[in-house]
Amino acid sequence: MSELHSIAARMVAKGKGILAADESTGTCTKRFESIGVESTSESRCDYRSALFTSPGLESYISGVILYDETFRQKIVGTNHLIPEYLQSKDILPGIKVDTGAHPLKEGSEEKNTTGLDGLSERLGEYYALGARFAKWRAVITLGDGIPSDECILANAEGLAKYALLCQQANLVPIVEPEVLMDGTHTIESSFEVTDKTLNTVFEQLEQHHVDLKGIVLKPNMVLSGYDCDNQASIEEVAQQTLECLTKNVPSEVPGIAFLSGGQSNDLAISHLNEMNKKDTDWNVTFSYGRALQQDALKIWAGNLENTNATQGALLSRAKANSLATKGNF
């Protein structure tokens, strides 16, 4: 287990965070359409190669979450597989292993994440290919009369079973229970559902004998619903989020790497920075996708001549978030 502990600690090292570049082909295609670029396996590889070869990226990024397609591709113009190239830069390669969120029951708005079938074989293959951590995302929706206890429990059980299989395969599991912030709900409702979700997730992790020193938690921040008339201040979001985590996350967990959800790039940094002005039991960092990549994607626009400017935009965001992990932004 000591290898898992040291990798988990590296993933959440002070001043560094995780780049989520594990967009599914469908999601990546939508992002490319927004900039007028055709999404092909080649164009996706061109874009990600530009990101990963950013000079000095390893100063701010400890690990990169990859999608299966990307995991098997080579950095453009080289003979290096992407995981091997990342390792050469002292960046840990990770892999998204869930197969998506599907309706909990027919006609239900609630979702349950799938992907446990055949997972241990897949994890073994990914480890052999160079993966050192994995990711599984559970989705909890707030709405009229939801989430149900059944939905929270089903997702927490899935996360715990996945986490145990990861550790058995020598991979650090990123445990990602995301309470979605779409809607008109208040920050109080957000706190209540996040509190219940985290409580259930840690109950399940303990019941399944998952080693908490060898995981990274990737939760949502506690925010007002995006369509709520009363938007909580940066200070209140930081205070409510830390209170919720302190109540539910054992101190053995080495670190918390927040997802950005639908927050603006700037708010995601400001909230993280505010939290890091306080002392906590864990390293508190970021695992952002869009909030790190959005500026870079627009500049790249499918043109290799824009590579330097693309990399500059990514590095600028990564550096700002790195400062926020120390409360120095």
Share of the chain above pLDDT 90, in %: 95
pTM of the model: 0.96
Q: What is the pLDDT of residue 328?
A: 92
Q: Is the pLDDT of residue 290 over 70?
A: yes
Catalytically annotated residue among 23, 135, 218, 274: 218
pLDDT category, 218, cuts 50, 70, 90?
very high
What pLDDT digit, counting tens, does each position of 67-115 carry? 999 999 999 999 999 999 999 999 999 999 999 999 999 989 999 999 9
Average pLDDT over residues 167-177: 98
Q: What is the pLDDT of residue 175?
A: 98
Q: How does the average pLDDT of the chain come out, rounded?
A: 96
Average pLDDT over residues 284-305: 95
Q: Is the pLDDT of residue 206 over 90?
A: yes
First to last CA, the chain: 35
Q: Is the pLDDT of residue 32 over 90?
A: yes
Q: What is the pLDDT of residue 1?
A: 64
Q: Is the pLDDT of residue 2 over 90?
A: no
Average pLDDT over residues 17-30: 95
Active site (annotated) includes residue 176: yes
Q: What is the pLDDT of residue 153?
A: 98
Q: What is the pLDDT of residue 114?
A: 96
pLDDT category, 262, cuts 50, 70, 90?
confident
Catalytically annotated residue among 157, 176, 178, 274: 176
